[in-house]
Chain A
């Protein structure tokens, strides 16, 4: 009896594999084969046209000695702060604020209005955002004008043109873009939570901050994990904000691996070298993502 049940269960399970078929075919064609091709290309010298020339591990040897490359790796890790950590924190607070406070005090409409407004930066193409932020951050731009107007002129800087401030300046634009994504995902998740929990907590005398840490954050765990993972991966791939604001400068102060690969794939046409950089970038992303997923699995197992 047990064997038959097991067998039918196994058959039942197998049926689900069929659902993976479209995704699997797509993955094979669009992800796997190109990635393998890219890996193979990383051992060649190629200009994008004509035939690639096999050169073994030369690209990787070159990579190890390339200061620009190591600098770009460090910068992209730094961008995790502005692409993940800060937006997630702001997103959590804002989501809780809009959901748990504004909705009661002012109504659903206002809460949705704020959410839409904070999400708007996500809708703008990054290239356009770069032009607009350029007007804000350039030496005679809005940021410095406002600082001077309120008497803090001494703080006015050459935000994108000074190596000390360029990375933070780009980070500011990135936070501006990312908060909306975190906010929307968190608010969608919050609609899952039984409001009775908040009622009970409030009746028990829990303040807003306590409700945030005791209820909101733990209940939003799945969403938080998703957002942290995806924004972290995005930080390691970040390209457009750097491309439009600083072009990797000043003097490579904001260079990131994706910018370097774009540069070598399409400008210098050193496709093999670019492929090698992309491989290393990919490996780093996979390693970090795996560590994070393990952490997530452990966290969820202990619940």
Chain B
């Protein structure tokens, strides 16, 4: 019974395919589950460390170290970091920048991939490799040139500069992924649309984008998370505190000679919460399982 409901749930959004035959529920499944739970515990353990130290008092940490359970719950580190970093503002900035990069980066990737994967323009292979260069460059090597370009165009210390930089850099990955997906897209559908008189633009927006939505969401999610955690370029380009992102503000936990571990733990908890929420929201779209190939 439950399986039948699950089958329908799994196939929502996709054209229905063969109904799942019921798998036998062997005892082996509990062993596999146990192993997976153990693997998860290992994976999540460092987060636990962040949690128990973020809500610890400094005195407790001094006396008992990072591996002890807090003797009492103390939110002062969280409160302190929130205050000195003006965390609400930093959150807004990070969401703004990461969100903008997710949108613009995905759009650029889509446009590029359309030309390369579907349009198959002359020199596609070469163009793809060249665009991939964007993925290969070590960021340290472009900081100084970009700094001078930003200064002379008046974009230094603006969020726009960071958005532009990351949209371009991230689009290298998006282009690569999307063009390989689009390259194997069934031609019949595209030709059918063209015969119906659709322009290139209409084919892109009305035929391809709906089908590509899950892949586009995956790419946008990646871009959001990767941009959120970037720190070198924001550190150099976002001078004013009011423009800075969460990752730059993390520098407040480490001074010239001292690091405050409790503050670091608290800051990390605060820093990852929005991205976790973002990921959980978009994970739902990922499970809607629309398939590129099964559009018969």
A209 within 8 A of B: no
Whether B231 contacts A35 by the Cβ 8 Å rule is no
Complex formed: what's the CA distance from A132 to B290 in Å?
38
- CB within 8 Å of B: which A276-303 residues: 278-279, 281-282, 285-286, 289-290, 293, 297
A3 within 8 A of B: no
Whether A26 contacts B180 by the Cβ 8 Å rule is no
Whether B268 contacts A125 by the Cβ 8 Å rule is yes
A303 to chain B, nearest CB (A): 10
B196 within 8 A of A: no
Whether A120 contacts B138 by the Cβ 8 Å rule is no
Whether B131 contacts A132 by the Cβ 8 Å rule is no
Given A23-B112, A131-B261, A184:B127 Cβ within 8 A: no
Whether B261 contacts A128 by the Cβ 8 Å rule is no
Whether B18 contacts A233 by the Cβ 8 Å rule is no
B279 contacts across to A, CB distance below 8 A: 116, 119, 123
Segment with Cβ contacts to A, from B71-79, B85-93, B162-170 = B162-170
Which of the residues B127, B167, B292 comes within 8 Å of A26, measured between beta carbons? B167
Complex formed: what's the CA distance from A104 to B43 in Å?
24
A270 contacts across to B, CB distance below 8 A: none
- CB within 8 Å of B: which A90-143 residues: 94, 97, 101-108, 112, 114-129, 131-133, 135-136, 140-142
Given A104-B20, A126-B229, A23:B250 Cβ within 8 A: no
A20 to chain B, nearest CB (A): 5
Q: Which residue of B lies closest to A297 (CB)?
A: B125
A185 contacts across to B, CB distance below 8 A: 218
Interface residues of A, CB < 8 Å — how many? 102
Whether B119 contacts A16 by the Cβ 8 Å rule is yes
B176 contacts across to A, CB distance below 8 A: 226, 229-230
Given A23-B111, A38-B142, A123-B272, A97:B21 Cβ within 8 A: no
Complex formed: what's the CA distance from A57 to B264 in Å?
44
A91 to chain B, nearest CB (A): 12
Whether B136 contacts A23 by the Cβ 8 Å rule is no
Q: Which residue of B lies closest to A37 (CB)?
A: B145
Whether B21 contacts A132 by the Cβ 8 Å rule is no
A274 within 8 A of B: yes
Segment with Cβ contacts to B, from A61-69, A189-197, A247-255 = A189-197
B57 within 8 A of A: no
B283 contacts across to A, CB distance below 8 A: 112, 115-116
Complex formed: what's the CA distance from A127 to B235 in Å?
14
B36 within 8 A of A: yes
Given A104-B23, A108-B6, A27:B276 Cβ within 8 A: no
B171 contacts across to A, CB distance below 8 A: 23, 26
A274 contacts across to B, CB distance below 8 A: 140-141
B244 within 8 A of A: no
A114 contacts across to B, CB distance below 8 A: 36, 40
A142 contacts across to B, CB distance below 8 A: 45, 49, 67
A19 to chain B, nearest CB (A): 4
Whether B286 contacts A48 by the Cβ 8 Å rule is no
A31 contacts across to B, CB distance below 8 A: 133-134, 137, 142, 168-169
A213 within 8 A of B: no
Whether B146 contacts A30 by the Cβ 8 Å rule is yes
Q: What are 20 A-B interface contacts by the 8 Å CB criterion?
A: A16-B115, A16-B119, A16-B200, A23-B168, A27-B131, A29-B168, A106-B33, A108-B6, A112-B283, A117-B40, A120-B47, A125-B231, A128-B50, A132-B47, A142-B45, A145-B67, A184-B218, A196-B17, A230-B173, A286-B136
Instruction: Supply 9 further A-B pairs (C-beta < 8 A) apart from A117-B44, A121-B43.
Output: A22-B111, A94-B39, A108-B6, A118-B39, A142-B49, A185-B218, A222-B184, A237-B136, A261-B138
What are the 4 tightest A-B residue pairs by CB atom distance, in nearest-first order? A16-B119, A278-B141, A26-B168, A128-B268
